Chain A
Amino acid sequence: MVAREQFQLDLKSIKDEIIQLAMLTEDALIKAVDALYNQDITLANQIIANDKLVDKRELDINNKAVLLIAKQQPVAKDLRRLIIALKITTDLERMGDHAKNIAEATIELGEHYLLTVHPAVKEMRDIAIEMVRVAINAIKYEDISVARKLSKMDDSMDELYETIIREMLEETATNPEKVQYVMQMAFSARYIERFADHITNIGESILFLVKGESFDLN
């Protein structure tokens, strides 16, 4: 007989909810960048409304984790599982906020600007989505080799971000009338870069879970 069966089921249920929350943030980022490229204000508003669901899920998971800590007094890896649940949900909630921020930038730019979005923004989005998927596997299988991949992916993300910012600053110098556009685009790139930093934090949490030590992947 497995002792504390209910507790093990509760831990699994929290893990499943975290994975669902990660998928919600993934979906939010995909849609936010689509809305930015397509000047889709309706979709942008929908993303902003959906972020409330992400916030609610974060609170629900936190409450469950705190209650389990209080009632079950876990130790060792079980305690770390619940501590990282609190940390990962905070990261996921912030990731949801960054998708929302991109949606707000889309609304700020409006439907009528005639400029195209820098192609590397989509590239950044694709890396971020791949990172979320890697992180989901790391959470699911408590796999530190997967978690380490996130660090390398985050480096590519940072390089792309620097390229976009450099090129956009050059554009501002030659076309000062584009300042509003460049600002919002730079913000959006920054939001995706921060989104990826939070995924890297999730990798650190998985390393802490498995190894019992703190790591810095950023």
Chain B
Amino acid sequence: MITVKERPMTSKFGMKEDKTIYSVDNFNLWYGEDQALNEICMDIPTNKVTAIIGPSGCGKSTFIKALNRMVELIPSVKMTGSIDYNEQNIFNPKYNVEELRTSVGMVFQKPNPFPKSIYENVVYGPKIHGVKKKSILDEVVEKSLRGAALWDEVKDRLHENAFGLSGGQQQRLCIARCLAIEPEVILMDEPTSALDPISTLKVEELVQTLKKDYSIVIVTHNMQQAARISDKTAFFLNGEVIEYNDTDQIFSNPADKRTEDYITGRFG
């Protein structure tokens, strides 16, 4: 059940000074009878990194899966409220979900390359969208792998199986695969939790570079990572946004005691 509500004049956690890519208003989500998200109101800025933090089960992953409507693939999900992407409500029945998922790429916790060559992994999306010319595909591969800071490491073995790459390289390949379809937004669901510290730092640096061209929303359990790489941070607890503000403010002087307790490790 999706109810489209009229947006209030001001949202609870409005960030009107930034250009907004997503505007979330009074968004609620239930898995069956269990409410996973409760009255979420957030504006997600364009060309910034927005981190979502909070303890397990607080609704972080559910929230970012709602941003590309992946969450509705789960049976028994009910939603109310609205999520506007570029000022269009993505839950409007007339909204083209395929178009949404082309504009909004996603990177998951565990690297999930296809059992194909590095090259084929990257061109998979463009091929589905009908790109056939080899010269264009070659260009896409180089641009995407460069964008994901992987080109120099793999340029001489593009036709080898992607499973031969290290975990960190596989994750950057997944980011390259995501870049190949030229999205506007990249959603990252704990993208470094399965990686070693060096690979983690490479992905973090990459995120910093990517924000020039993409808007990034990242769910992370690693609070130092959120502090290092994000511009905005939202703290979720029991399905609610407790605090959403500039990352500098959240990690130096949060307004809500629950945020302070969480980021200083007093619970969670």
**Taking beta carbons and an 8 Å cutoff, which residues of A are in contact with B?**
2-4, 7, 73-79, 212-213
Contact = CB atoms under 8 A, between A and B. Distances in A.
Interface centre among A75, A78, A212 (most CB of B within 10 A): A75
Interface in B227-267: 227, 251-254, 260, 263-267
Contacts of A79: 252
Contact of A76 (B224, B264, B267): B264
B251 A75 contact: yes
B265 A76 contact: no
Interface of B: 223-224, 227, 251-254, 260, 263-268
Contacts, number: 31
Contacts of B263: 75-76
A83 to B, nearest CB: 11
Nearest to B224: A73
Nearest to A3: B265
A7 B265 CA distance: 10
A75 B223 contact: yes
A81 to B, nearest CB: 10
Given A75-B223, A76-B260, A3 B266 contact: yes
B251 A2 contact: no
Contacts of A78: 264
Contacts of B264: 4, 74-78
Interface centre among B223, B254, B266, B267 (most CB of A within 10 A): B266
A45 to B, nearest CB: 46
A77 B251 CA distance: 9
A144 B267 CA distance: 26
B252 A75 contact: yes
A137 B71 CA distance: 53
A76 B268 contact: no
A76 B266 contact: no
5 contacts: A4-B264, A4-B265, A73-B224, A76-B251, A76-B264
A64 B113 CA distance: 45
A88 to B, nearest CB: 19
A119 B252 CA distance: 47
A7 B267 CA distance: 13
Contacts of A77: 260, 264
Interface centre among B224, B253, B264 (most CB of A within 10 A): B264
B146 to A, nearest CB: 32
B267 A212 contact: no
Contacts of A2: 266
Contact of B252 (A4, A7, A73, A212): A212
